[in-house]
Amino acid sequence: MKLKEGQIRIPSGCAISAVISREGKRMTGEKIIESMKPMHDRSNGLGGGFAAYGIYPEYKEFYALHIFYDDNTSRHTCEQFLKDGFEIVRAENIPTRKHKNITDEPLIWRYFVAPLASVLARMQLDEKEYTARIVMKINTEIDGAYVFSSGKNMGAFKAVGYPEDVGEFYRLDEYGAYLWTAHGRYPTNTPGWWGGAHPFGLLDYTIVHNGEISSYDANRRFIEMFGYKCTLQTDTEVITYIADYLMRKQGLTLEETASVIAAPFWSTIENREDKELLKYLRCTYGGLLITGPFSIILGFNGGLMALNDRLKLRSMVVGEKDDKIFIASEEAAIRTMEPDAENIYSPAGGEPVIVRVKEGVEL
Amino acid sequence: MSINYIYPEYEVVRNDARCIRCRVCERQCANEVHSYDEERNLLISDEAKCVNCKRCVTLCPTHALKIVKSDCRFKENANWTDDTIREIYKQAESGGVLLSSMGNPKPLPVYWDKILINASQVTNPSIDPLREPMETKVFLGKKPDKVKRDENGNIICKTSPQLELSIPIMFSAMSYGSISYNAHASLARAATELGIYYNTGEGGLHEDFYQYGPNTIVQVASGRFGVHKDYLEAGAAVEIKMGQGAKPGIGGHLPGAKIVGDVSRTRMIPEGSDAISPAPHHDIYSIEDLRQLVYSLKEATEYKKPVIVKVAAVHNIAAIASGIARSGADIIAIDGFRGGTGAAPTRIRDNVGIPIELALASVDQRLRDEGIRNNVSLVVGGSIRCASDVVKAIALGADACYIATGALLALGCHLCRSCQGGKCNWGIATQRPELTKRLNPDIGSQRLINLMTAWKHEIKELMGGMGINSIEALRGNRLMLRGVGLNGKELEILGISHAGE
Amino acid sequence: MKKIYVNEEWCLGCHLCEYNCAFAATGDKFMSLALKDKEIRPKIHVEDDGKIMYAVSCRHCEDAICVKSCISGALSKEDGIVKIDKDKCIGCLTCVLVCPYGALVPNEGKAVTKCELCTDNKCGEPACVKGCPNNAICFEERG
């Protein structure tokens, strides 16, 4: 029997790409789809996906839940469960177009929801925490239902297939986003489960990642102390939870978070001016240090952070042009999006690249 | 009784063609096995006294000697083994409790040997420790639950006191008294040089060793021997010893014969009096009492030093550890049933307690289930024998390991398991001046440093193979382990998969 | 210069130094073959009164009284080492009498023998130092 993500740990290689407009200008999905084509060989047709920020301005006060269902029974169960805790202002199929390379699609739904105030008051939770818990509950407890996107004014789109095909399938040319991230996957084995594709998201945090981290189980067992359940056994999942825990629950900044997951070597820390802080972070959150190769792009409402492992064991380059910043596994991908991209460089291992939309821009 | 039922266990085999009559064997055997017959120009042996410590074998310059197990055995019997029969004879003669030393030698499962370590192939790279940084530094102590910021939004970088270790290994508790001054000197100097810690055990701290205080863990045990204000202040951490792997549930007994001179002064008890540590701490009959002692010691040391609570691995260890974690302890040390001792009743040493591998796995998981693993550090001992044992322990969830038997072996111990006799030919478990001088701390400390340096290299190689370049990323990383020949229950407790899965 | 020093604190009185010294002088490969049934005449010897043990050998005195008193000119100093020319020694034992440390060893009618820091054999560094199990004998520079 072939085991899917969650039943077995599947290492994979990958391609990643991203573009962000610092002015908050909307871009359609065409460019980001194009960027994945020159990196075709970095995927093997067993997973591709995108995350888009700023795509649901008319529903920006609502959590946009993107859900895969195996069948209508699981959909009914899940919708019934959602209704107990949320006001659902809109429920619909995610529009797709038929594509010869994308087959065996599950039911793909999206919901715009708001947690019921009475439930939040009863449970003494803020709405983010409540929504995160419900997402994890659906994914672990409702058979055949899988929430793959759960932030406000953003969405993830993913499938089994090559990323360029996945983009066309989801009609991403029809969305306008100020930040796009993309992922092409090269798993070493898989039955081809849609939920196993990337990006992985929780609330508005999404991660696209290329690598296979060697610290996985140390990270998983640490983060699971705090209510997270790593059901997929993928790196992307655990890194997303780490980001959520450090930033949302512990209140760390992006820079501080980067200093935890790609902490400088002790020998470097010794010579740094902020050594007390770095030592504190590394010592306190040692279980969240990530080792082994990774290049990740963390997307969130208003920006992104790109980060390599501290030995820089995976390629990742950054370039810019006008208001846009481009990040990808290969320069070719950046050149596809913007032939005149400037200041192309390869960030050092453990050096976070943080890009935010300018303050004051309405998203 | 005129007949001794016990035939000597060992034979001293002397190759007369090699023996040059230098008599070093005779001079070096405190058990007086060897003697020289001048008239016949012969060295002869009284094998009944031989404990197989191999001092004579090691010093014989012509390799003329070997000690072999006697093949004069009882009639073969799978049930009544030679050891069992011999013990009955001993007790029938003495009427006493059998005493033994060092760790449990019985063929009980060694789980370390049934666990295998992973390595990277293709999908992610292994890392060469000769070319890339490979970090083994560890901080032991309670970590904050939540960051706190000052009015400017800067993180307040204050934590509970931490012990900083260059490698995740410390020298475990062995008291001055149970081992010699020179053994302590070797441990103290090596720990200082290595950037790790050694542990005084319950025997106080000799005034000469206060200089090594920053690398010393001072122990407070049920007899409170040698405990006073300066002692507590001298150490880098204070360890409350509740139990010991070799003899869970009982106290200690250092015979009066060993309470001489400086040992008596350091323990603060009269010369020649037996040092008897009670089985329990008589001020700790429950977990809330432990909390009081933890905080008394913290008060006494102004909250500047982490407090370690050491317990033996017993059946209910997960719940006990959880209780300790909630009692204010910064570090929990767990000692497995194969841990060593200077003397313990044989029946207890060989039959009480559980393997450290299982205890560690269940404690680490329990503390994680309760979300408090980061509130306390875990140190495990009780037969950590080599670098791969250390790596496996860390991957199962330990922060660091305690070694003692391994350290004594480095100092020359040959595991003859006769410490209780006080005639250690290697100058370790003895207080006789003519024997203690056999351990020159210049040599002893260097051998300990060599051993730890070698292990450090091996740990780095193993980590690099896994693609891990920092020890934090190995801690609790059970995916890096696989079991071989273990049953489903054992794998479940260890929290690892079987090889091939 | 480097000389042999003995730390009484660590001397175990095992006498191994004597045998290592005697063996080094033979140039043989195996100690058992070299010393079996032989009476040894080591140039280092252990003083042992049962309480204090101490290995003694030539100190290569600055102003060596043995050299001064040698009537045949067999003893001389070379690079700080007191050496003996065995061809010149007439076996008068004057040096044995005057040496306050008993470092010169009579040799049954033949020339006296004494420690030359193993420069007179193939040992390299002094054999007593190399073979001491407790670092009680050192070969080092001291002020």
B475 Cα to chain A: minimum distance (Å): 6
Q: How confident is the model at residue A11 (pLDDT cuts 50, 70, 90)?
A: low
Interface test with C, best of B440, B443, B445 (most C CBs within 10 A): B440
Poorest-confidence range of A12-16, B136-140, B206-210?
A12-16
Is residue A95 over pLDDT 60? yes
Q: Which chains touch A (3 or more CB pairs under 8 A)?
A: B
Q: How many CB atoms lie within 10 A of CB B309?
A: 27
Cα of A261 to nearest chain B Cα, Å: 10
pLDDT value, residue A60 = 94
Task: Calculate what percentage of chain A has a pLDDT beyond 90.
Answer: 84
- Token readout for B8 is 């000597």
Name the band, by pLDDT with cuts 50, 70 and 90, for residue B6: confident
| C→B interface, C-beta within 8 Å | 9-10, 12-16, 18-20, 23, 30-32, 35-38, 131, 133-136
First to last CA, chain C: 9
Tell me which residue in A9, A279, A291 faces B473 most closely, judged by beta carbons: A291
Spatial CB neighbours of B327, under 8 Å, sequence gap ≥ 6: B287, B288, B290, B291, B294, B309
Average pLDDT value for residue range B183-190: 98
> Is the pLDDT at B429 greater than 90, yes or no?
yes
CA distance B20 to chain C (A): 5
The arithmetic mean of pLDDT across residues B186-209, rounded, is 97
Characterize C2-16 residue by residue with b for buried, 16 or more Cβ atoms within 10 angstroms of its Cβ, and e for exposed.
ebbebbeebbbbbbb
- CA pair distance C32, B62, nearest whole angstrom: 6
| For residues A314-318, average pLDDT | 94
Give me the pLDDT at residue A211, please. Answer: 86
Residues of B whose CB is below 8 A from C36: 17-20
CB-CB under 8 Å, B374 with A225: yes
Q: Where are chain A's structural domains?
A: 12-54+162-356
Chain B: which residues have CB within 8 Å of chain A? 120, 123-125, 127, 132-133, 135, 137, 139, 143-144, 146-147, 149, 154-155, 157, 159, 162, 368, 371-374, 397, 466-470, 472-480
CATH code: domain B10-96 is 3.30.70.20
Closest Cα to residue B174, out of B337, B291, B310?
B310
Q: Mean pLDDT across the stretch B242-265?
A: 90
- pLDDT the model gives residue B380: 98
Tell me what pLDDT residue A1 has: 52
Q: How far apart are CA A24 and CA A304, in angstroms?
A: 13
Interface test with A, best of B147, B376, B377, B466 (most A CBs within 10 A): B147
Percent of chain B with pLDDT over 70: 100
Q: What's the confidence (pLDDT) of residue A2?
A: 62
DSSP-derived letter for residue A5 is B
Rounded average pLDDT over A104-112: 95
Residue B61 and residue C20: Cβ atoms within 8 Å?
Answer: yes
Question: What is the rounded CA–CA span in Å between residue C85 and residue C112?
Answer: 9
CB contact under 8 A, A218 and B477: yes
Measuring CA to CA, how many Å separate B458 from each of A170, B129, B271, B294, B477?
51, 10, 45, 36, 18
Contact in structure between A209 and A14 (CB atoms under 8 Å): yes
* Block residue for tokens 């004579």: B56
Mean pLDDT of chain B: 95
Residue A14: active-site member = yes
Q: Give which of C38, C134, C140 to mutate to test B binding, by max B Cβ within 10 Å.
A: C134
Q: How far apart are CA C135 and CA B260, in angstroms?
A: 27
Q: Tokens 């899917």 appear where?
A: A4
* Tokens at A56, concatenated: 């649901």
Sheet holding B237-241, edge to edge: B169-171, B400-403, B377-381, B331-335, B307-312, B237-241, B216-220, B198-199
Distance from CA of C89 to the nearest CA of B (A): 30
> ipTM score of the complex?
0.92
Distance in Å, alpha carbon of A217 to nearest chain B alpha carbon: 5
- CA dist B436 and B413 (Å) reads 13
* pLDDT surpasses 70 at A6: no
Q: Which member of B127, B144, B479 has the closest CB to residue A9?
A: B479
**CA–CA dist B190, B452 (Å, integer):** 9
- pLDDT at position A3 is 67
For C22, which residue in chain B has the nearest alpha carbon?
A: B22
- Name residues whose C-beta falls within 8 Å of residue C18's C-beta, 6 or more positions apart in sequence: B22, C40, C42, C44, C45, C46, C128
- Give the contacts of B259 (CB within 8 A, at least 6 positions apart): B177, B267, B269, B270, B271, B272, B273, B274, B275
Contact A21, A363 (CB under 8 A): no
Indicate whether A192 pLDDT > 80.
no
Q: What's the rounded Cα separation, in Å, for the pair B203 and B422?
A: 16
Whether residues A293 and B467 touch (CB distance < 8 A) is answered with yes
| Cβ neighbour number for residue A143 with a 10 Å cutoff | 10
Identify whether the C-beta of residue B478 lies closer than 8 Å to the C-beta of residue B158.
no
| Percent above pLDDT 70 for chain A | 96
Give pLDDT, residue B161: 97
Q: Residues B39-53: pLDDT tens digits?
A: 999 999 999 999 999
Q: Which CATH number fits domain C1-57+125-143: 3.50.50.60, 3.30.420.10, 3.30.70.20, 3.40.220.10?
A: 3.30.70.20
**Mean of the per-residue pLDDT values of chain A:** 93
Closest of B142, B134, B59 to residue B332, by C-alpha: B142
- CATH class in words for B138-144+158-498: alpha beta
pLDDT at C51 over 90: no
pLDDT digits (tens, 9 = 90+) for B167-182: 999 999 999 999 999 9
**Whether the predicted pLDDT of C26 surpasses 60:** yes
Q: Using one digit for the tens of pLDDT, what is the confidence trace for A42-92?
A: 888 788 999 999 999 999 999 999 999 999 999 999 999 999 999 999 999
Q: Given this model, what pLDDT does residue A207 score? A: 94
pLDDT band at B3 (very low <50, low <70, confident <90, very high): confident
Dihedral pair phi/psi, residue B440, rounded to 5°: -80, 115
pLDDT surpassing 70 at residue A27: yes
Residue among B19, B22, B442 whose CB faces C15 most closely: B22
Looking at domain A12-54+162-356, what is its CATH homologous superfamily? Aminohydrolase, N-terminal nucleophile (Ntn) domain (3.60.20.10)
Half-sphere exposure in the Cβ direction for B456 (13 Å, CA) = 21
The domain defined by C61-114 carries CATH number 3.40.718.10: no
**Residue C31 banded pLDDT, cuts 50, 70, 90:** very high
Q: Using alpha carbons, select from B385, B442, B489 the residue that is nearest to residue B113.
A: B385
Reported confidence tier of residue C123, pLDDT bands at 50, 70, 90: confident
CB atoms within 10 A of CB B432: 17
Looking up tokens 């935890």 gives: A260
Angle between helices B387-396 and B356-369 (to 10 degrees): 30
- The per-residue pLDDT for A46 is 82
The percentage of chain C sitting over the pLDDT mark of 90, rounded to a whole number, equals 82
Q: What is the mean pLDDT of residues B362-382?
A: 97
Per domain, the residue ranges of chain B are: 10-96, 138-144+158-498
Assess contact for A310 and A263: CB atoms under 8 A: yes
